[in-house]
Amino acid sequence: MTVTIPVSGGEFRPYDVVVGRGLLAGLGAHVAPLARGRTVVVTDETVAAHHGPAVLAALKAGGVKARLLTVPPGEASKSFAELERVIDRLLAFKLDRSDLIVALGGGVVGDLAGLAAALFMRGIDFVQVPTTLLAQVDSSVGGKTAIDTPRGKNLVGAFHQPRLVVADIDVLATLPERQLKSGWAEVLKHGLICDRAFFDWLAGEGAKGADGDPEALQRAVVRSVEIKSAIVGEDEKEAGRRALLNLGHTFGHAIEAELDFDEDKLTHGEAVALGCAMAYRYSAAQGLCPAEEAERVEAVIAACGLPTRLKTVGSFKASALVARMAGDKKAEGGRLTLILARSIGDAFTARDVDARALTAFLEAEGAR
């Protein structure tokens, strides 16, 4: 069964997220109403090998003439250099403001292609066709687009909402196990921030989704998108409640940056999983959250094969991590801001976090 979730609110134009199985084969019918001129499918080389010809054929069957523009796979493509190359190719293709970009891939492709769409001719339309679980439940929805810099992740970007998101559950069958589980971290995060019943299901019957069960995956994707849609509709520019979606990310981004964004060492989803476990343990250490809640969160994350302890992913200096966290996008005036929790399903934004307490916590976690 195909499910359509509307995303609306604030000042942005409403759009739909379509979730179901076998959707790539009918992609042309979904995209055709939006394709007024030329269409460029931006994807990475790995996804192009799996789905490129089929997507071009599906678009053609719907009356959409399109061409592929490929980028190297991996986080390194979220760079100024690759953004410049993509925009240069769009100019070489002679696209104009009536044309369309389709972002076919995971979060890296969606972020890069979305930012290119936001900048090209001061903004053209784009469609998200996420091919990873992480992208389907998180990065493809909400209009955040960005690239990384050596000083941190996602520090240069723009809010640019897609016109449509098409999430085909069947494409997840081609994902390596590690990538599927990385996406599951973002699913768990949605339950942790505001839906305890959803988290309970994910910890029980729904855990089959982490192993690739398509029915569980579809239910997990739909509920995650519903949660994110409601939050984005209320707070598009992250002035308030949307910050909750960053649970685990401030810890996670700092760890990723210290590892030079090396996905062989730690994927983004693994960093989020570790960050969520750390956020709950820090909340418990500060007396904000019952210790048994933090212990349960850690156990559920670990049961999915995701990291929960800092020392298992590398060696870190506490001072370096705190400095990274102080430079996070949520920080204001250098003040540390974290998403913490009172319990499972009840996250909140904590401002003016004490740097000494955070440093002591990180040292207790194994940082030197």
List, by residue number, the catalytic residues: 122, 144, 186, 228, 238, 242, 246, 249, 253, 268
Beta bridge partners of 15: 7
Residue 105 dihedral angles phi and psi, to the nearest 5° = 160, -160
SS3 annotation, 312-368: HCCCCCHHHHHHHHHCCCCCECCECCEEEEEECCEEEEECCCCHHHHHHHHHHCCCC
C-alpha distances (whole Å) from 270 to each of 31, 116, 265, 267 are 33, 27, 10, 5
Reading the block at residue 209, the tokens are 């989704």
CA quadruple 288, 291, 295, 298: dihedral, nearest 10 = 20
Judge contact between 149 and 156, C-beta under 8 A: yes
SS3 267: coil
Helix axes of 291-303 and 177-194: crossing angle, nearest 10 degrees: 160
CB atoms within 10 A of CB 203: 19
CA-based angle 346:347:352, to the nearest 5? Answer: 145
Q: How many helices (H) and strands (E) in the chain? A: 13, 11
Query: How crowded is the C-beta side of 10, counted as CA atoms within 13 Å?
Result: 21
Judge contact between 242 and 228, C-beta under 8 A: no
